[in-house]
Structure 1
Amino acid sequence: MSGGWQAVDDYIADKLLGADDALVATLAHNEAQGLPPIDVSAAQGKMLCLLAQMAGAKRILEVGTLGGYSTIWLARALPEGGSLVTLELEAHHAKVARQNFDRAGLSDRIDIRVGPAADSLAAMRAGDPFDLVFIDADKQSNALYVEEAIRLGRSGMTIIVDNVIREGGVLDADSADERIQGTRALFDRLNADPRLDATAIQTVGSKGWDGFLLARVR
């Protein structure tokens, strides 16, 4: 079945996305520099771009840069004068991402900050609020990242969290996997927070069986 998922992703990309030299070069550069192949798929990247455009996002926050593949998709959604802050733990990943941003012609609208995301977020002061937040970093801290996103956002802000199904592992309350426990804590956190309207969808494709969580700040 997973082979079929890949074939459908390829079909979607061929029919709806088309060739994109900058994004192909980004993935090739990431691989050459030894980054893990855990980026969102092309179809998911375009979905992020469209969601950001639908939200009218002028300021975007991303938690988890890796090599900047999803960052590029999100930055392309920004209007003239828009900006994106992306947080990355690893200095090497951040260096690779900067090179990808330069190649894509987007460096002027992307601010990449290096270090533990929790520290970077804690150091950020509420100013011009973010309109959309995409979270795709260490799953153990997802609940914290959502709380910080709310602090730095506005009413009506969109929050998207990746990898929330984990091949069904989210159902396993006794899992020893910290990523699964962190994901379950995220669901519990959103369930108990009256400030948020949220749902999640399962996805299958080139990235296997997983899903996105989508929330709106009231």
Structure 2
Amino acid sequence: MTELNVWKNVDDYFMDKLLPENEHLDAVLQANKEAGIPEIDVSPTQGKLLYLLAKIKGAATILEIGTLGGYSSICLAQALPKEGKVVTLEINEEYALVAQQNIERAGYKEQVEIILGNALDSLPNLKKAGHLFDFIFIDADKPNNPAYLKWALKLAHPGAIIIADNVVRNGAVTDEISEDERVRGVQQFIDLLKEEPRIEATAIQTVGVKGYDGFVLAIVN
């Protein structure tokens, strides 16, 4: 049995034991597949982790950079108090349309706002409008991770949690001479975390149905 099969079997075990069936999230994955959206959503166990972290934080305002088909948006919305809000940014119009349909089907039309466009254009507009967030999830194009972190700091309440996904790059994050712009973006992101006195952070390696990867967990002081 390969490592990936073992990891998938363990994920399946935990999903069966700890994650109750969620027809809305299952429907999102099916709708995304039918629409031809890349199957790069967070896994169900990772989605539940996002939900739990947002709930532990008591987050009422959540920013997501990278909507895709709305799977993680819904996971985060499930953690909101009644008057809470998720603002999620997506550059791809087709993905945003599918995500909107998924979010409405799941019953979170009023809690989740999708902003279509380049995130680096949308983020300054959020700042100008006076938005601040309790929880920020960065899961978009990796070369721009350093810029996303800088904006996250400008948009974060004191004590805000920042999560960044896909930071291990199958181990390539340690390759100091990598020419992969995604790897370079993550490395620069990590360097900024190291140098930024307002942030305490760690990174966790993960294995599972999505293979070998990991995420950053940070808090803004």
Paired residue for 1:169?
172
Paired residue for 1:134?
137
1:56 and 2:50 equivalent?
no
* Aligned counterpart in structure 2 of residue 111 of structure 1, from 113, 117, 120: 113
Alignment map for 1:89-100 (pairs within 5 Å): 89-100=91-102
* Aligned counterpart in structure 1 of residue 45 of structure 2, from 26, 43, 56: 43
1:173 Cα deviation from its structure 2 partner: 1.1
Paired residue for 2:26?
24
1:178 and 2:178 equivalent?
no
**Once the two structures are superposed, what CA deviation does each residue of 1:33-85 show, in whole Å capped at 9, x if it has no partner?**
00000000000000000000011100000000000000000000000100010
The 1-side partners of 2:127 and 2:157 are apart by 13
Paired residue for 2:72?
70
What secondary structure is seen at the aligned counterpart in 1 of 2:188? helix
Paired residue for 2:127?
125
* Aligned counterpart in structure 1 of residue 146 of structure 2, from 137, 143, 158: 143
1:18 Cα deviation from its structure 2 partner: 2.1
Give the TM-score, by structure 2 length: 0.97
Structure 1: which 4+ aligned runs deviate by more than 6 Å? none
**Once the two structures are superposed, what CA deviation does each residue of 1:136-183 show, in whole Å capped at 9, x if it has no partner?**
000001111111011011110000000000110000011111000000
| Structure 2 residues without counterparts, runs of 5 or longer | none
Identity over aligned pairs, percent: 51
Please give the root-mean-square deviation of Cα atoms over the aligned residues, in Å: 0.8
* Aligned counterpart in structure 2 of residue 212 of structure 1, from 212, 215, 221: 215
1:98 Cα deviation from its structure 2 partner: 0.4
The 2-side partners of 1:153 and 1:193 are apart by 14
Give the TM-score, by structure 1 length: 0.98
The 1-side partners of 2:149 and 2:190 are apart by 11
Q: Count residues in correspondence.
A: 218
What secondary structure is seen at the aligned counterpart in 2 of 1:100? helix
1:120 Cα deviation from its structure 2 partner: 0.6
1:125 Cα deviation from its structure 2 partner: 2.1
Amino acid at match of 2:180: D
1:187 and 2:190 equivalent?
yes
1:128 Cα deviation from its structure 2 partner: 4.4
| Structure 1 residues without counterparts, runs of 5 or longer | none
What secondary structure is seen at the aligned counterpart in 1 of 2:158? strand
